[in-house]
Structure 1
Amino acid sequence: MYTNKGIQAYKKDSLKSDLASADPHRVIQLLMQGALERLALSKGFIERKDLESKSQTLTRVVEIINALRDALDRDANPELVDNLNDLYAYMIDQVQEASVTMDVQKIDLVMGLLLQIKGAWDQISEIDKQAAAQANA
């Protein structure tokens, strides 16, 4: 038990360190990764019928997705932002429904959507990241 707590503390400190030094692009990557990790955990909690952990984990997923929605730059590409906003809203609905119905397929659906978005996000070139940073400066 102690080792697990030690690992968790290390991961928390490591994440705080990553976030403190991260550029906005990296912060979004970390948020997406955090949501994906928690979605995977929640599947295990559902399968084990650990309702409290499932609820805590899926609540955190919703908070992360809302943070991703809040980070959308409405001036950059309004049509894309509207589509992403709608997709994030859909994901939140699916997460909440999965929590109520204990349906891991809905979690798989959200994970698949989030992986697609993260995959596209991860493909953004360093040049495009720098151009976006200069435009926002």
Structure 2
Amino acid sequence: MTPGLRAYQRVRLTTATPQELVVLLYEGLVKFTTIGRRDLEARDFAAAGVALTRAIDIIGHLRDCLDRERDPALCGNLDRMYAAWTRAIARSQVEVDLPSLDTVIGQMDEMTATWRAAAIEATRRGGAK
């Protein structure tokens, strides 16, 4: 990674709204899950393990960031979804279950789009945090 790209990414992270940070996490989640799926399909299990472990780490961060006091019901639903994704990713590594990963990636894409729309709406309303 070039110094210029690192600087750009640092600025992007430090100036992002909370909603934009969630979008970045989801984008990384989709990226690493997709890479892991590709590596599993190619039977490169070591590379798949690295990518899918990064995806699980991102899910862990998303779970840690849930504000359970603010909306317990929503956080409970998200937590269950994140737990299901973690199980599916872990199972896919053991069983080389590509269809399960395809399902999870589709769900992640939907959530990314939802958060992207929420970030745009928050910015439109004045950067509500």
The corresponding residue for 1:41 is: 35
Shift of 1:50: 0.6
Structure 2 counterparts to residues 1-137 of structure 1, below 5 A: 9-10=1-2, 13=6, 14-124=8-118, 125=121, 126-127=123-124, 130-131=127-128, 133=129
Give the letter for the 2:20 counterpart. Answer: R
TM-score by length of 2: 0.86
If asked which structure has higher relative contact order (CA below 8 Å, sep 6+), I would say 2
Give the letter for the 2:46 counterpart. Answer: E
Q: Is the 8 A contact 1:65 1:88 kept in 2?
A: yes
Q: Give unpaired runs (5+ residues) of structure 2.
A: none
TM-score by length of 1: 0.81
Q: Give unpaired runs (5+ residues) of structure 1.
A: 1-8
Query: Runs (4+) of structure 1 moved beyond 4 Å?
Result: none
How many residue pairs end up in the alignment? 124
* TM-aligned CA distance change 1:102 to 1:92, over 3 Å: same
Give the letter for the 1:40 counterpart. Answer: T
Shift of 1:21: 2.4
Q: Distance in 1 between matches of 2:9 and 2:97?
A: 30
Give the letter for the 1:90 counterpart. Answer: A
